[in-house]
Amino acid sequence: MKIRVLGSAAGGGFPQWNCNCPNCAGLRAGTLNARARTQSSLAVTGNATAAVLVNASPDILTQLQATPDLQPNRSMRDTAIAGIVLVDGQVDHTTGLYMLRESPRPWPIWCTDSTHADLTRGNPVLGVLEHFCGVDRRRIELDRDFTVDAVEGVTWRALPVASKPAPYSPNREAPIPGDNLALVITDDARGRSAVYAPGLGAIDEDLWDAMQAASCVLVDGTFWTDDEMIRLGVSRKRARDIGHLPQSGADGMLHWLGRLPAETRKILIHINNTNPILNESSAEFADLSAQGVEVARDGMEIFL
Ligand code: MLT
Ligand code: MN
Ligand code: ZN
């Protein structure tokens, strides 16, 4: 099984079009030791060419151009993407669905009932797709294994996680199980798994068990500190207000990652453009390296 990081940034990408925080301005000026990143998405392949697209990023077209394996050119209209799995209904994870409307057949889209509700009401992209390719909706049941047709050798399981659904969700201020998922992605032949959770506000027992059993965790790397956006003056919201556990602090993500086995690959993903870990010359980046924690990059490939 191979996991390719198509996009490693949080909503807005890096640099963000209207942002002049030290990271975004520094990257534009060429003075920052960092690389640009597109918005949050993975491609997962098993034994064959067929791939699962995990989240449809606003940057999907750029990501596909950067990933020739996803265009196998077997027919006049072709793609290796056999199905789409969504971890939530947020803008950065679903806007790319509009860009995929030229599909000659309905897209198999796996999502929970609450994400389906958001994507047919508050942000009715699935309804819009009915006027183009159509949608072959597959229901994700929580805590149950599922497979994606044509993507052989890979088993999926969705765990509900504490985070926040999109602002257009009726559950925004009182999330319900299924609004946000962690995915446990298992290579059947080797029995090795990865846990992917780009939006993670807290870690409960089931998720912690899955993280401890995994060979690789790809977890919420959005913010270094809870008040990062407030301090920079770019927002009035804290990381935890919008469903993201910051990396630093007593109960932060690094505290959890430090308790995982040494051999577990630990990768931060869905990184906001304000996060100092994007600067590879920063003290925060050095901290991570010392703790064996990696920062996801676009194009990174993980073999399990
Ligand atoms: C999030 O991860 O909190 C959202 O994707 C933010 C956004 O909508 O940009
Ligand atoms: Mn996001
Ligand atoms: Zn910025």
DSSP code per residue over the chain: -EEEEEE-B-TT-BS-TT--SHHHHHHHHT-SS---B-BSEEEEE-SSS-EEEES--TTHHHHHHT-GGG----SSS--SEEEEE-S---HHHHTHHHHTTT-SSPEEEEE-HHHHHHTTTTS-HHHHHTTTT-EEEEEPPTT-EE--TT-TTEEEEEEE-B----TTSTTTTS--TTSSEEEEEEETTTTEEEEEESS-SB--HHHHHHHHH-SEEEEE-S-SSTTHHHHHTS-S--TGGGT---SSSTTSHHHHHTTS-TTSEEEEESB-TT-GGGSTTSHHHHHHHHTTEEE--TT-EEE-
> Residue whose CA is closest, atom 3 of ligand 1?
242
> Which one-letter amino acid corresponds to residue 102?
E
Asked if residue 99 belongs to a domain, the reply is yes
Asked if residue 232 belongs to a domain, the reply is yes
CB of 88 within 8 A of CB of 57? no
Residue 209 belongs to a domain with what CATH number? 3.60.15.10
pLDDT of residue 46: 96
Q: Which ligand does the CA of 164 lie closest to? A: 1
Q: What is the mean pLDDT of the chain?
A: 98
Ligand 1 neighbours, Cβ below 6 Å, are 10-12, 90-92, 199, 242-243
Number of domains in the chain: 1
pLDDT of residue 238: 98
> Residue whose CA is closest, atom 1 of ligand 1?
11
Question: Ligand 1, closest atom to CA 243?
Answer: 3
Q: Which ligand does the CA of 25 lie closest to? A: 3
pLDDT of residue 284: 98
Asked if residue 34 belongs to a domain, the reply is yes
Range of the domain at 180: 2-299
Question: Ligand 1, closest atom to CA 270?
Answer: 2
> Residue whose CA is closest, atom 9 of ligand 1?
11
Asked if residue 249 belongs to a domain, the reply is yes
Asked if residue 304 belongs to a domain, the reply is no
Taking only the tens place, the pLDDT of each residue in 144-154 is: 999 999 999 99
Taking only the tens place, the pLDDT of each residue in 21-78 is: 999 999 999 999 999 999 999 999 999 999 999 999 999 999 999 999 999 999 999 9
pLDDT of residue 44: 98
